[in-house]
Structure formats: C-alpha cells, structure tokens
Amino acid sequence: MAEKNYTGVRWISETQKWQSSVRANGTTYNCGMHLEQLNAVRARDTKIIEKGLKKPLQILKPVKKVKS
C-alpha cells in the first residue's frame, strides 16, 4: 500500500476500508468508512466545512464568501 498519509485518515485492516474523523473542541466527528482513501479525506474536509471547524483542509479548497 503506497498511499499518502493524511491527517485523520487511517486504514482499518479488519474491514479493508479507510476510516476518517476530525477532532475539535473535545469532540470527535466520525466521517465514515470508505473504500478509497481520497473519499475518506474528502469526507473529512466536508465535515470540517459543514461544522465550521478551524482545521486545515487537505484536498478541498475553501470557498470565499462574496459580499453582496
């Protein structure tokens, strides 16, 4: 397995899937189990955006709000 290491993403050999999670303010947010590593990373980034967490994104790009 020559996969890249991403924060909050790990391989679970028992299930043969990638698990992702993000921890912030004493709470751990589970982001699910995924067949592909990048899907696990994407799910983690999505959770960060959804919850408004102050964590760096790893593959998704932040969207800048446009003033109206």
Q: Would you say residue 63 lies in a domain?
A: no
Q: Which range marks the domain in which residue 46 is found?
A: 9-51
Of 16, 8, 15, residue with least CA distance to 59: 8
User: Per the domain annotation, does 32 fall within a domain?
Assistant: yes
Residue 5 structure tokens: 């290491």
DSSP state of 36: S
User: For residue 4, what pLDDT band results from cuts at 50, 70 and 90?
Assistant: confident
Domain assignment present for residue 66? The answer is no
In a domain, residue 59? The reply is no
Nearest-10 Cα torsion for 54, 55, 60, 62: 30
Residue 62 lies in a domain: no
The pTM of this model reads: 0.85
| pLDDT for position 62 | 73
Predicted pLDDT of residue 61: 85
pLDDT digits (tens, 9 = 90+) for 11-68: 999 999 999 999 999 999 999 999 999 999 999 999 999 999 999 999 998 777 667 6
Task: Locate 28 and state its tokens.
Answer: 């751990």
State how many domains the chain has: 1
pLDDT value of position 65? 67
